[in-house]
Structures are given as C-alpha cells and as structure tokens.
Structure 1
C-alpha cells in the first residue's frame, strides 16, 4: 500500500512538473536585443530552433548559466567560426568556457546548428 501511494504521488508530481497533460507546456522565447517581438513568425530561424531545444537549460541571451550567455559567445566569435561552433553543438565540447563540458546534441542537424549559431552571432553588442 505504501509503495502504491509513493508511485501515485511521484506520478502526480511528474505530471505537474510537465504541465499536467492536457495543457501543453511552452518553452519561453529567448529574449534578445535584436528581436523583441513575441510573434514566432518574426523570429530568426535559429532562435526558433533554440526555443524548441534544450539549450535554454544551460544558456540564456544575456546571463551566464551553466554555459556562457549567447551574447558572450557572440562577442568571442565571428561569422568565420560558424562551422566550428556548429560542430561543437552537435559533438559537444569541453574546456572552452571552463570545466563544465557542453553536452553533445547528435539529433541536431548541421543545417539546424548553423542556423542556431547564425542567430547567436546576431546578438553581438
């Protein structure tokens, strides 16, 4: 009986954390100094891809989280680095921004990761 109650409580907490089932949870759109519109049709294609991914768990536009902010990345790199940064998104990396490694994202295509990088580079101050 105690095990059943624990399972039910765990399932209920999981459902609450995931949006409760019926209502779909939405990932908040990243804020940027480039695009302040809330309309997804006006978002940069790379920004749309980032919003659908798990990137916001480690990165934000303006502030360092687990990984660097997008603005810090934009300040460090140029358009000539798109291919290299795209590969880091797909394959992961370590030691570039500290001791915490970047998780690989093998399900993101090269074209998608390049669009993400192009968007991030638009955030250069």
Structure 2
C-alpha cells in the first residue's frame, strides 16, 4: 500500500512540475509569437478572436484541432501565402520568417492564440 501511495505522490509531483514549467515556457513563447505576428503584419488581416479580412486565429485553431498535418500545412501557408482555405482573398507570403519562427507562430495559433496582457 505504501509503495502505491509513494508512486502516486511521485507522479503527481512530476506532473505538477511539468505543468508549471510548461506554463511558464508557454507564456514566453506566446509573447514571442504574438510579437512576431505584430511585426509581420499578420494582425492587419487576422485577430485573435474575430474575423477581419482573414479568419480569427481561434477559428483556425478550431478548424485544425484534430488535423495532425496542420502544423506543416499552416507553416507552408504562412511562408508561401495562397488562397482557398477560407475564401478567395489571398494571403500574402511571409518569406522572411525562419522555420523556427514559423513553428512558434503556428504552435501559438493552434493553441488558440492566447492573448497577452
């Protein structure tokens, strides 16, 4: 009985530590992703929670929430631009973003683009 309790306690502690470490890291990454979106004019056509010219980032997250290929697809869409996924208005390419920046932004978008304070 004691061993079972000890294992549960250890698992709980590691889970809590992982949660808090991930949360702190996530907030920093979210801020970086939001800053990248501002610097690269993404917020001229997209908002976190409402449609402007393009869909909201939250709508994108909802549409692709069960698609395992979404990160690759969205990185490609941001880098190369295009149209057809959300209508006829084309999205311009963002060719100057690095692969790391694209991954950071796509991760943030797929989490629903958490707002920054």
1:42 deviation in Å?
4.2
In the superposition, the TM-score normalised over structure 1's length comes to 0.61
Q: 2:56 aligns with which of 65, 69, 79?
A: 69
Structure 2 residues without counterparts, runs of 5 or longer? 1-26
Q: 1:50 aligns with which of 33, 37, 40?
A: 37
Q: With CA pairs under 8 Å and 6+ residues apart, which has the higher RCO, 1 or 2?
A: 2
In the superposition, the TM-score normalised over structure 2's length comes to 0.65
**C-alpha separation between the residues in 1 aligned to 2:96 and 2:50?**
26
| Paired residue secondary structure (1:56) | helix
**C-alpha separation between the residues in 2 aligned to 1:109 and 1:43?**
15
Q: 1:122 and 2:111 equivalent?
A: yes
Moved beyond 4 Å, runs of 4+: none
Instruction: Tell me the number of residue pairs that the alignment of Structure 1 and Structure 2 aligns.
Output: 84
CA-to-partner distance for each residue in 1:81-102, whole Å, 9 max, x for gaps? 1011001000002111001011
Structure holding more helix per residue: 2
CA-to-partner distance for each residue in 1:68-116, whole Å, 9 max, x for gaps? 0001000001362101100100000211100101111111122211110
